[in-house]
């Protein structure tokens, strides 16, 4: 009985240590989530203004054309996949990657029809194990990412579309809804939807623009930058989703640890009570035998 009680005490101590770790991870994820949300909000004015300028050109009566706005026959597709470098984030990565693999199987007949650009160790390792060819990958993206962290991979995918290597480019990421909900998303990045750009309306008076040397030249510079900005926005969304999912997972783990500690403590108290009762019974039995 004493041996069993010592084992229960060790389990209680181990679970308490685990609870401390999961609680600390929950607090860290909560702090990171706040920063990620602030970063996403801080980047919106730039993206909105860039979209406004692009919209004023692209929606200007249809006179300005650009390859990034034109749909063509799809022969090869590029996918930019966003996952985390670390686990302990619930089903965040597995749900996204399952949806992505299902999309590949439904849309493509062979692996020659697409190229993969992967951000995050979890996605890279998952796809490599299943023998998907990865053109370029980035791992070790910090918790507070900068555009420079994904500039190379964004430029490679967008440049591939401009050069005609790819006929479509898609973003694969977790769209952040709230700390409890992250939506696996496969979203077309290129070609850009000219009608959606042209439909952008702003409340109140709108600004008028004069372009030098020409609207076409400005569009040639702005459209790749706008597309790269959307890639960065997807990264921020996925980071916020990662921290939200990890915070929720660690909160649930902490609650489960607390429940397990209570169960083990109850078992320990019952075992201790049984041991005391047995000792009393032995003492009484010995006393009766002597008398």
DSSP per-residue string spanning 184-220:
EEEEEEES--HHHHHT---SS-------SS-HHHHHH
Domain ranges across the chain = 2-22+250-290, 27-199+209-248
Per-residue tokens: 231: 């890639």
User: Is the Cβ–Cβ distance between 266 and 14 less than 8 Å?
Assistant: no
Q: What is the CATH number of domain 27-199+209-248?
A: 3.40.1380.10
User: Is the Cβ–Cβ distance between 100 and 63 less than 8 Å?
Assistant: no
Three-class secondary structure of residue 15 per DSSP: helix
Pick left, alpha or beta for residue 216 (phi over 0 → left; psi -120 to 50 → alpha; otherwise beta): alpha
User: Is the Cβ–Cβ distance between 211 and 143 less than 8 Å?
Assistant: no
- For each of the chain's 291 residues, which pLDDT tens digit applies? 566 888 989 999 999 999 999 999 999 999 999 998 888 878 778 877 777 777 777 665 455 677 788 888 999 999 999 999 998 998 999 999 999 999 999 999 999 999 999 999 999 999 999 999 899 999 999 999 999 999 999 999 999 998 899 999 999 999 998 888 899 999 999 888 766 565 555 555 556 667 777 777 888 888 888 888 889 999 999 999 999 999 999 999 999 999 999 999 999 998 888 888 888 888 888 777 776
Strand order in the sheet with 114-119: 134-138, 114-119, 77-82, 168-178, 181-190
Confidence (pLDDT) at 251: 94
* Cα R_g (the chain), whole angstroms: 28
Confidence (pLDDT) at 207: 60
Confidence (pLDDT) at 60: 57
CA neighbor of 83 nearest in space, from 37, 39, 116: 116
Confidence (pLDDT) at 209: 66
Confidence (pLDDT) at 265: 93
CATH class of the domain comprising 2-22+250-290: mainly alpha
User: Beta-carbon neighbour count of residue 45 at 10 Å?
Assistant: 9
Three-class secondary structure of residue 19 per DSSP: helix
CA neighbor of 153 nearest in space, from 175, 167, 138: 138
The pTM assigned to this predicted structure is 0.83
Confidence (pLDDT) at 184: 95
């Amino acid at each position: 009985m004493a041996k069993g009680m010592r084992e229960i005490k060790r389990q209680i101590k181990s679970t308490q240590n685990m609870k401390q770790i999961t609680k600390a991870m929950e607090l860290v994820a909560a702090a990171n989530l706040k920063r990620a949300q602030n970063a996403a909000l801080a980047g919106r004015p730039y993206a909105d203004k860039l979209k406004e300028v692009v919209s004023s050109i692209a929606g200007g009566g249809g006179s300005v054309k650009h390859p990034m706005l034109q749909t063509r026959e799809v022969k090869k597709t590029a996918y930019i996949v966003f996952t985390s470098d670390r686990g302990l984030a619930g089903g965040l990565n597995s749900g996204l990657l399952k949806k992505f693999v299902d999309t590949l199987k439904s849309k493509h007949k062979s692996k020659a029809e697409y190229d993969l650009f992967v951000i995050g160790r979890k996605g890279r390792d998952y796809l490599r194990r299943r023998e998907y060819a990865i053109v370029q990958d980035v791992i070790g993206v910090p918790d507070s990412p900068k555009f420079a962290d994904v500039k190379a991979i964004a430029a490679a995918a967008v440049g591939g579309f401009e050069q005609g290597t790819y006929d479509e480019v898609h973003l694969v990421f977790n769209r952040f809804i709230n700390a409890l909900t992250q939506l696996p998303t496969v979203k077309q990045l290129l070609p850009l939807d000219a009608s959606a750009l042209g439909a952008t309306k702003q409340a109140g008076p709108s600004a008028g623009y004069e372009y030098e040397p020409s609207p076409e030249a400005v569009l040639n510079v702005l459209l790749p930058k706008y597309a790269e900005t959307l890639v960065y926005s997807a990264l921020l969304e996925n980071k916020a989703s990662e921290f939200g999912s990890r915070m929720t997972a660690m909160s649930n783990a902490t609650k489960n640890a607390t429940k397990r500690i209570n169960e083990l403590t109850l078992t320990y108290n019952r075992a201790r009570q049984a041991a005391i009762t047995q000792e009393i019974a032995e003492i009484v039995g010995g006393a009766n035998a002597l008398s």
